[in-house]
Structures are given as structure tokens and as C-alpha cells.
């Protein structure tokens, strides 16, 4: 008396069920599904049909247990809220999905401890890591890189494979732009002290302004959030500069709001250049002149670099460094320097 048992809830079909239905051994099923060609075509088709009929999906857990791989990549970002990382997440997601990987998203809340912790805790559950704007020290990062495959985004190339968004060269473009508008008193509005990008941008700013013999100021560090914009704007205005190069768009947008509140006209009284060209930079008021980065592409490239390391057989030159070009996008937040 055959028991009819379809969809006994919670009970998932196993490779054994498929083998039984197809009348073969489980090993044959395994090979037929993951290594076709090792199995007779007719048999394989029979197995595939049985699998489809049972709605069979292999358990990634069991599969990972023997293979030691999880087909999973963890993406660590300092702040999920920040649109900049959205684009990275999106690019990574896209590329991972295409390669049959799953994305584990982790928000490290701008904390080096949380980042290190996640790196440890997830060591076993992810095949590799993408560290966007890591807040780790060089030493911590080197240690982590020695333990597991990882690719950083916007971090010194010496330590681990990395994708660098070339904002320093964009800084030069931005300065060129400001100078051509007649500005000579320029303020750098700094981001988080632990940010490598911030350090690089500041360095480029200093070098270039020194060479051009410009009068410069700097304020900060500020948290990269719109809410820090008010303090940043006030500080920048106080310096007497006529133009600001701001760590990122989030902060710049916050400044824009504050300046309007205070009746300081942008760009008439003060020009503002942001960085990243995030969502919103084009429709804020006034639209923001900013250094546009191919952020999503950076996420994609980072994943590619990681995957080519994880699967060397698929080749792909395992570069240790990818530099993403940037360019200045001029909108309405920059204009001629005010006449004194």
C-alpha cells in the first residue's frame, strides 16, 4: 500500500530521494548534477527529471561541508545608510549573483572592532570578504588578509588586493576648476580621521595647493553624514574661504542646507565641491558639483578580483590593484569667486 506523501511540510527531498526515484546510487546523482559528462546522458536526464519532479535543491550546507566552500562572500561596509555604499553593495551584488555566489551584508557601523569581529566570526561562513572603506589599522588589515581572501576598496594597495577610486586626481581637477573660477582661498572639509580616502584626498589637496600657491584652510574631521553638515558649514565659513572641497557628498549636502539657512548663497558667496556623486547630488539645491566615481563598477571589480582569487582555475589576471578613474561633474554649486 503506497503512502501518498507529497509536500510533507518542512521535509526537504534529499539526494537519496532523487537517487531512489531515478533508480541509481546517490553518488551518481551527485555527479550527474555537479559534474555532467561523468555520467551517461540518458541516466543524467532521468536524474534531472527526478530532481525536478521532487523539486529537489541541494543543501548548500551539506555541499559546503565537504567542499569547504560556502559560495558566499561577505561585504562589509561602515554604514549601510550611506548612499555611497549602496552603490558598492549593488555592484557587488550584481557580480556575485552572476557568478552564483550569495552576498552576506554586514554593517560595521564605522567601528574597527565590529569590523574585526565580523571578519573573525564569519571566517567559516564566507569564502571571502569585500572590505569597503575599512576602518581597520594597517596591521589589523594585514592580519586579516593573511587569514582569509579579501579585497579592499579604497585602501592602500600594499596590504591586500584593492580597488582604489582615484579621487586624489579628481581633487586636482576640482582645484583647477575652482582656480579657473577665480578662487584662491580654499578650504578642505575633512571626513573621518580613520578614513584612508580622507587622508589621500587631504594629501592631494595639500600638494596641489602648495604647488599653485593657494591660500588654504582645513576643518574637520566630521562624520560623513548630512547632519554633520551644519558644523562643517559654520567652520568653513569662519575660515573666510570662498570655496570648499568637501570629503563627500553627504557632508556637502548637509553644508548646502546649513548655508541656505544662514543666508549664505551658493555659489555666489561660497562654492562647494563634493565627492562621490551619490544619489541626491543631482537634485539637491543647488545641484552639487562633485567628483564622480564609478562606485558601482568599483563594487563589481572588487568582486571580480576576489572571485578570480577564489577560483584560480577560471584564470583572470589576479591583479592586486585596480584604479577607477574619476572626473569632475560640474553642476550649480560652484561659480565665480565673489569680488571682495
Q: Figure out which of the listed residues 154, 173, 216, 226 binds a second copy, where binding follows CB under 8 A.
A: 226
For a second copy, the closer of residues 15 and 22 by Cβ is 15
Choose the contact partner of 14 out of DNA, a second copy, none; CB within 5 to 8 A by kind. Answer: DNA
Residues in the chain: 340
Binding mask 107-126 for a second copy (x = CB under 8 A): x------------xxxxxx-
Reported for 156-159, long-range contacts at CB under 8 A and 24+ positions apart, including other chains, are 156/196, 157/320, 157/321
Q: Which stretch binds a second copy (CB under 8 A): 25-33, 61-69, 169-177, 182-190?
A: 61-69
Q: Figure out which of the listed residues 20, 43, 257, 260 binds DNA, where binding follows CB under 7 A.
A: 43
Distance of alpha carbon 237 from alpha carbon 255, whole angstroms = 10
| Spatial contact of 259 and 270, defined as CB atoms under 8 Å apart | yes
3-class SS of residue 128 = strand
Q: Is 298 in the site for a second copy (CB under 8 A)?
A: no
Choose the contact partner of 26 out of a second copy, DNA, none; CB within 5 to 8 A by kind. Answer: DNA
Instruction: Kindly report the three-state secondary structure assignment for every residue of 152-174.
Output: EECCCCCCCCEEEECHHHHHHHH
Q: Name residue, grid cell 559654520.
A: 234
For DNA, the closer of residues 37 and 263 by Cβ is 37
Binding mask 227-256 for a second copy (x = CB under 8 A): --------------------------x--x
Instruction: Kindly report the three-state secondary structure assignment for every residue of 176-197.
Output: HHHHHCCCCEEEEECCCCCCHH
- Judged by CB under 8 A, the number of residues near a second copy is 45
Sheet with 243-246: strands ordered across:
215-219, 185-189, 243-246, 271-276, 289-292, 327-329
Q: Which stretch binds a second copy (CB under 8 A): 96-104, 176-184, 205-213, 266-274?
A: 96-104
Residues 74-93 that bind DNA (CB under 7 A): none
Q: Is 55 in the site for DNA (CB under 7 A)?
A: no
For a second copy, the closer of residues 60 and 184 by Cβ is 60
Q: Figure out which of the listed residues 34, 81, 147, 227 binds DNA, where binding follows CB under 7 A.
A: 34
Q: Is 40 in the site for DNA (CB under 7 A)?
A: yes
Distance of alpha carbon 112 from alpha carbon 95, whole angstroms = 26
Q: Which residues lie closer than 8 Å to 124 by C-beta, 6 or more apart?
A: none
Is residue 221 reached through a cis peptide bond, with omega within 30 degrees of 0 on the bond before it?
yes
For DNA, the closer of residues 15 and 73 by Cβ is 15
Residues at the site binding DNA, with contacts judged by CB under 7 A: 12, 14-16, 24-28, 30-31, 33-35, 37-41, 43-44, 56, 58-59, 62-63, 65-68
Amino acid at each position: 500500500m503506497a503512502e501518498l506523501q507529497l509536500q510533507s511540510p518542512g521535509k526537504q527531498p534529499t539526494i537519496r530521494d532523487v537517487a531512489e526515484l531515478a533508480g541509481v546510487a546517490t553518488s551518481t546523482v551527485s555527479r550527474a548534477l555537479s559534474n555532467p559528462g561523468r555520467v551517461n546522458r540518458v541516466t543524467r536526464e532521468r536524474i534531472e527529471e527526478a530532481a525536478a519532479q521532487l523539486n529537489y535543491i541541494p543543501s548548500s550546507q551539506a555541499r559546503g561541508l565537504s567542499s569547504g566552500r560556502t559560495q558566499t562572500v561577505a561585504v562589509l561596509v561602515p554604514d549601510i545608510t550611506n548612499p555611497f555604499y549602496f552603490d558598492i553593495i549593488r555592484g557587488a551584488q550584481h557580480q556575485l549573483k552572476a557568478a552564483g555566489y550569495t552576498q552576506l551584508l554586514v554593517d560595521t557601523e564605522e567601528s574597527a572592532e565590529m569590523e574585526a569581529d565580523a571578519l573573525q566570526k564569519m571566517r567559516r561562513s564566507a569564502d571571502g570578504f569585500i572590505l569597503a572603506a575599512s576602518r581597520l589599522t594597517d596591521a589589523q588589515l594585514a592580519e586579516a588578509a593573511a587569514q582569509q581572501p579579501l579585497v579592499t576598496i579604497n585602501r592602500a594597495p600594499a596590504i591586500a588586493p584593492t580597488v582604489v577610486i582615484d579621487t586624489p586626481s579628481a581633487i586636482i581637477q576640482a582645484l583647477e576648476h575652482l582656480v579657473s573660477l577665480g578662487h584662491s582661498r580654499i578650504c578642505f572639509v575633512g571626513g573621518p580621521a580613520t578614513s584612508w580616502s580622507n587622508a589621500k584626498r587631504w594629501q592631494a589637496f595639500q600638494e596641489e595647493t602648495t604647488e599653485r600657491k593657494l591660500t588654504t584652510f582645513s576643518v574637520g574631521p566630521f562624520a560623513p553624514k548630512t547632519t554633520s553638515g551644519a558644523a562643517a558649514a559654520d567652520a568653513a565659513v569662519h575660515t573666510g574661504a570662498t570655496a570648499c572641497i568637501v570629503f563627500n557628498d553627504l557632508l556637502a549636502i548637509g553644508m548646502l542646507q546649513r548655508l541656505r539657512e544662514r543666508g549664505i548663497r551658493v555659489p555666489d558667496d561660497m562654492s562647494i565641491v563634493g565627492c562621490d556623486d551619490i544619489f541626491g547630488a543631482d537634485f539637491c539645491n543647488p545641484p552639487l558639483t562633485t567628483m564622480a566615481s564609478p562606485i558601482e563598477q568599483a563594487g563589481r571589480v572588487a568582486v571580480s578580483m576576489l572571485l578570480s582569487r577564489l577560483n584560480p582555475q577560471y584564470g583572470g589576471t589576479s591583479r592586486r590593484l585596480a584604479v577607477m578613474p574619476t572626473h569632475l561633474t560640474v553642476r550649480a554649486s560652484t561659480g565665480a569667486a565673489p569680488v571682495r
